Amino acid sequence: MLNPHRIREDFPILRREIEGKPLIYFDNAATSQKPIQVIEAVRRFYEEHNANVHRGVHTLSQEASELYERAHEEVAEFIGAEGIEEIIFTKNATEAINLVAYSLCLRGLGPGDEVVLTLMDHHSNIVPWENVSRVKGFKVKYADINDEGVLDYEGLENLVTKRTKLVCVAHVSNVTGVKNDLRRISKIAHDNGAMVVVDGAQSVPHMPIDVERLGIDFLAFSGHKMLAPTGIGVLYGRQDILRDMEPFLGGGEMIREVRYNKSDGTCRITYNELPWKFEAGTPNVGGAVGLMEAVRYLRGLGMEDVERHESELTNYALKRLDGVDGIKWYGPGPGSERGGIVSFNMDGLDPHDLALLLDQFGIMVRSGFHCAEPLHQRLGLRGSVRASFYIYNLKEEVDKLIEALEEIRKG
C-alpha cells in the first residue's frame, strides 16, 4: 500500500507553513507539487547535459537528444502506447487538444461534419473546437449530464451519427470527479466511423492508463499535474492517424527537407518522421527530463495504489463533509466511480470568499468555475470550491479541512 507519510518526505514545499499553520495542499487538480527527485533531475540536466536536441554532433547535443528520446519512450510505456512515434510533446494538454483540432481541420472537417463534446468538458476541450468550427463550418454538439454530473450515455449515443467525425470527452471531470466509461464511448464513436479525443489531464496522473485497452484515438495530458514541471505536456495519437495529419506548427525540426525550386520560385517541403513532425522548434528538453523522472516516480509507487489511495481519501472526505451544516458537495456519492476531486459550497458564502478563509487555515483549495463554466451552469451553480487530492495527502489533512469549515460556519 502507498505510504503518504513517507512520500511527503520527498516534497520540500510541504514543509512550509501558511499563516503559522502547516501547509495543506488540496489544489492538485490545478497543478501538483514536485518531488525532490524531479527537481534534481531537471537541475542535473541543466548543469551537465544542456544543449539543443537533434541539431548537433557534439557530445552535449547527443546526450540531450538521448535523454529527450528516452523521455518519449518511458511516457509511451507508461500509457501503453506502441512506441515513441505515438508520443508528441507539447506545452500542456491544452496545446495537445489544439494540435488535434487545427491539424485535422487542415485536411478535413467542413460543412456537414459534426464534432460531439459534453457539458462536463474543460474549456480546453471546448474552445478549440468552437473556434475552428467558425472557420471550417462544421457543427459542434454537446451531450448532456444528469444532476450528479454523470454523462447521459443514451443522449450521447443519439447525438453521434454518421456525420460525426470526432467525439471529444474528459476522462475524469475536473469538477465532480466523475469517471467516464471510455470503452463505451469509443464503441459509440467507432461504430459511426468517428474518432475519440480524450482529455486525460485528471486521469493519467491518478490511475493506470492503457490506451490500447481503452480503444481511444487521441489522449492529451499535462506533466505539471503529475509531478513534472510546467510547460511540458503530451499528445498520444494512433500512428495511422498521425501519419496522415498535417502539422499545424511549422519550422525547424519538423521538416526533413526544404528545397528551393528555381523553375517556379517555391520551396518543396518534406515533413520529418513521427513524432518530430509535430514538434516544431526547440522543445522543452528540461521539462521532458522532469516528466520522465515523474513517470519513474509514479511507476515506482504503482498506479493501482495511487488510485486506491485517492479513492479512500475522496470517500472519507465526502462522508466528513456530510457532517458539516450548510455544506453541499457535487457528483456521485461515496463508493462510486470518481476521481480524487470534491467540489462543494457553503450556504451564504461566495466560493472565492470561502477559499480565502480556508487559506487563513493554511488550506489551499480552488474556487470559481475551474475552467468548466458550462458544467456549473448545467448544475445551477455560480462557482464552487474544489479540494483535489494526490499521493501526499492525508486523512488528517481532511480532518483539518472539516475543522476549518466548521469554524468558518460558526462565524
Average pLDDT over residues 102-125: 94
Average pLDDT over residues 323-347: 95
Average pLDDT over residues 79-84: 97
What is the location of CATH 3.90.1150.10 in the chain?
Answer: 4-32+302-410
pLDDT for residue 1:
85
CATH code of 4-32+302-410, in short, is: 3.90.1150.10
Sorted by sequence, the CB contacts under 8 Å of residue 58 that are 6+ apart come out as 51
Which residues pair with residue 142 across a beta bridge?
117
Strand bridging mode 139-143 / 266-271: unpaired
Tell me how far apart the alpha carbons of residues 77 and 80 are, in angstroms, rounded to a whole number: 5
Q: Which of 105, 168, 267, 371 is an active site residue? A: 371
61, HSE (Cβ side, Cα atoms, 13 Å): 8
Mean pLDDT score of the chain, rounded to an integer? 96
pLDDT for residue 24:
98
Whose CA is closest to 72, among 274, 322, 345, 341? 274
Strand bridging mode 266-271 / 255-261: antiparallel
Cα-based distances in Å from 65 to 52, 55, 70, 160, 289: 8, 9, 8, 43, 11
Cα-based distances in Å from 207 to 76, 179, 226, 309, 356: 15, 11, 11, 10, 31
Contact 54, 65 (CB under 8 A): yes
H, E, C per residue of the chain: CCCHHHHHHHCHHHHCEECCEECEECECCCCCCCCHHHHHHHHHHHHHHCCCCCCCCCHHHHHHHHHHHHHHHHHHHHHCCCCHHHEEEECCHHHHHHHHHHHHHHCCCCCCCEEEEECCCCHHHCHHHHHHHHHHCCEEEEECECCCCCECHHHHHHHCCCCEEEEEEECECCCCCEECCHHHHHHHHHHCCCEEEEECCCCCCCCCCCHHHHCCCEEEEEHHHCCCCCCCEEEEECHHHHHHCCCCCCCCCCEEEEEEECCCCEEEEEECCCCHHHCCCCCCHHHHHHHHHHHHHHHHHCHHHHHHHHHHHHHHHHHHHCCCCCEEEECCCCCCCECCEEEEEECCCCHHHHHHHHHCCCEECEEECCCCHHHHHHCCCCCEEEEECCCCCCHHHHHHHHHHHHHHHHC
pLDDT for residue 355:
98
pLDDT at position 107 over 80: no
Average pLDDT over residues 101-118: 92
Does residue 267 carry a catalytic annotation?
A: no
pLDDT for residue 411:
81
Average pLDDT over residues 108-134: 96
pLDDT at position 145 over 80: yes
The predicted-structure confidence for 146-171, as pLDDT tens digits, reads as follows 999 999 999 999 999 999 999 999 99
pLDDT at position 241 over 90: yes
pLDDT for residue 19:
85
Cα-based distances in Å from 98 to 137, 223, 253: 17, 17, 20
Domain topology for 38-299:
Aspartate Aminotransferase; domain 2 (3.40.640)
The predicted-structure confidence for 34-50, as pLDDT tens digits, reads as follows 999 999 999 999 999 99
CB atoms within 10 A of CB 217: 23
Cα-based distances in Å from 82 to 134, 210, 322, 388: 35, 10, 45, 31
Classify burial at 357, counting beta carbons within 10 Å of its beta carbon; exposed 0-12, middle 13-18, buried 19 or more. Answer: middle
CA dihedral (72, 172, 302, 392) positive or negative: positive
The predicted-structure confidence for 186-240, as pLDDT tens digits, reads as follows 999 999 999 999 999 999 999 999 999 999 999 999 999 999 999 999 999 999 9
pLDDT for residue 335:
85
Q: Tell me the pLDDT band of 121, cut-offs 50, 70 and 90.
A: very high
The predicted-structure confidence for 341-390, as pLDDT tens digits, reads as follows 999 999 999 999 999 999 999 999 999 999 999 999 999 999 999 999 99
What is the location of CATH 3.40.640.10 in the chain?
Answer: 38-299
